[in-house]
Amino acid sequence: MPYIQGRYRQFLTAIRQWRHLKLLKRAGRGHDPGGIMETQPGQCAVECPACPHPDRNLPADWTNVAKSQR
């Protein structure tokens, strides 16, 4: 049992690195000419499709609608 406990922290480190690499891969950062070191904070974030975004999922005249209907 001590052998397994001694490797647990290393296992968690490997899992954390694997998750980070998968995040970069899913965000398309692997083929960036600058490499993954040029990734800025927020570039791997996924925008919420349910949140209102002007010019994407809001009508063109959304600013002219009455406040009670917004």
Give the model's confidence band at 4: pLDDT under 50 very low, under 70 low, under 90 confident, else very high.
Answer: low
Q: What is the pLDDT of residues 26-69, one digit of tens each?
A: 888 878 888 888 888 988 888 888 888 888 888 888 888 888 87
Q: Residue 24 in contact with residue 30, Cβ under 8 Å?
A: yes
* pLDDT given for residue 2 in this prediction: 62
Query: Residue 40 and residue 12: Cα distance in Å, rounded?
Result: 25
Helix or strand or coil: residue 67? coil
Q: What is the CA radius of gyration of the chain?
A: 21
Distances (CA, A) of 66 to 49, 58, 63: 24, 15, 8
